Amino acid sequence: MSAAVADDKPRNAQTVKALLKLREMVLNGELPPGERVAELSIVDRLGVSRTPIRMALVRLEEEGLVDCLATGGFVVREFSDQDIADSIELRGTMEGMAARRAAERRPDRAELAEIRDCVGNLDALIRRRELSMDDFSDYIRLNDRFHSLLVELAASAVLKRSIERILHLPFASPNAFVFVQSELPESREILSIAQEHHRSILEAIEHGEGGRAEALAREHSRIAQRNLQVALSNQQQRDRIPGASLIRQRERA
């Protein structure tokens, strides 16, 4: 291993450390929207040099969490309801493309084994008599797994990279509002509908029905749109959303 490569390793580790911490500080409100990021204070707080901080901020700009100012430096972004809705719709569009590609590939039984197992585990969870917070945590894990496997089945590196970038957008994740819906009286019904979508998407892929798989995946993302509207209509629900401080408050009439 060359000295240059060896020197890059700690630098990359510092950048990852800075990225994770800065993302956390933005999402939990420590760095509020509209506030300029004070790079020197971040350097002191994290104990890393300025270069990894700058690289991390550039990555956060790519993720949409901060904006680069014309005068230099970065400022934390604020998001409107429409910004979030657009992010969710964009994810649905890209996952629809992934579902269509997966169906057109006609994956064999071995390739489908993991996603079938995931859907089976989700079925078992939904059938539980009562759903606890631990159950919702399990749902989030399995739901994330389903969406990841769906993208893998498309076998497209370009699609995978594009979707990964979208998922870094605030509130674009399939699980962004699951904990919000956990307190709703119709929470089981919402999860049951989502799971029916999962089964139908898998069935369409198994049968090579690309158009149907794409339409189902896009429709599936609309559950997140509905959960978004519920979350933003109630302050208590809104406060449970990770990164809620970034959402612009609606003006009251």
Mean per-residue pLDDT, 10-25: 83
Q: CATH 1.20.120.530 in the chain, residues?
A: 81-246
pLDDT at position 249: 66
Q: Domain 81-246 has what CATH class? A: mainly alpha
Backbone angles phi, psi at 124, to 5 degrees: -65, -40
pLDDT digits (tens, 9 = 90+) for 51-96: 999 999 998 998 888 999 998 899 999 888 888 889 899 999 999 9
State the Cα torsion 109-111-112-113 to the nearest 10°: 80
pLDDT digits (tens, 9 = 90+) for 178-236: 766 676 777 888 899 999 999 999 999 999 999 999 999 999 998 888 877 777 776 66
> What is the pairing mode between strands 74-76 and 66-68?
antiparallel
- Domain range 3-76, its CATH number among 3.30.70.1450, 1.10.10.10, 1.10.287.70, 1.10.760.10: 1.10.10.10
Gap between the Cα atoms of 113 and 116, Å rounded? 5
Q: CATH 1.10.10.10 in the chain, residues?
A: 3-76
Please report which confidence band the pLDDT of residue 248 belongs to, taking 50, 70 and 90 as the band edges. confident
Nearest to 182 by CA among 213, 151, 139: 139
pLDDT at position 28: 80
